[in-house]
Amino acid sequence: MRLNIFTFLLLLITSFNTMAIEEPEYISIEKKDAFEVREYQPKLIAQVLVTGTFDTASSKGFRLLADFIFGNNKTNEGSKKIDMTAPVITRDASEKIEMTAPVISEETERGWYVSFNMPKQFTKETLPIPNNPEVKIAEVPAEKFAVITFSGLVREKKYAEMLSLLNEEMKKRNLEPKGPAILARYNPPWTLPFLRRNELMFRF
């Protein structure tokens, strides 16, 4: 039976989203609908600090990190490709806690940290060294997060709705956020909006 074009593209995109890509390990402490409390295990990250609007900074940060994992690095044996992981993390570089207002306005330029988790097979000593000094490697200890999961494109209105919901759920549990909100995106840019997985997180 022949597949129409839409069905073929849907199957193709779905296959990309179901590929075995490593994600950070965590223990689920509580889960209610889209809200979850997690304890993440220690991890190693590659991170860059970029400036610009949310969209432009996210794209720039992704390109710099992708350049590192695709081989712009060095080991004793030469450069080495590092497996891609999920999610891509973006957070406001300021220490101000954004509890109520969205921070992803397309018109506002600011500093952003964009990071990838490194595959768990690596330690800081065995991970390839970035050639680009903008790429920093950091060890992150075990941390607890309040998380809200949602689909679709990340736009200011949607972000504000999810931020409000996350704040409500945290207040119910007397959880105090530490630092700015963190946005985690799990899918490649060609993924259809309704298939995308996004998470908004506060460390506490």
Output the pTM of the full model. Answer: 0.86
Confidence check: pLDDT of 127 > 60? yes
- Identify whether the C-beta of residue 65 lies closer than 8 Å to the C-beta of residue 134: no
Q: Report the alpha-carbon distance of residue 38 to residue 17 in Å, rounded.
A: 23
Which residue ranges make up each domain of the chain? 21-203
Query: What φ, ψ does residue 45 adopt, rounded to 5°?
Result: -125, 155
DSSP state letters, 36-81? EEEEEPPEEEEEEEEEESHHHHHHHHHHHHHHHHTT-EEBTTB---
User: What is the rounded average pLDDT of the residues 88-111?
Assistant: 74
CATH topology of domain 21-203: Multidrug-efflux Transporter 1 Regulator Bmrr; Chain A (3.20.80)
Confidence check: pLDDT of 193 > 50? yes
Neighbours of 96 (CB within 10 A): 10
Confidence at residue 4, expressed as pLDDT on a 0 to 100 scale: 54
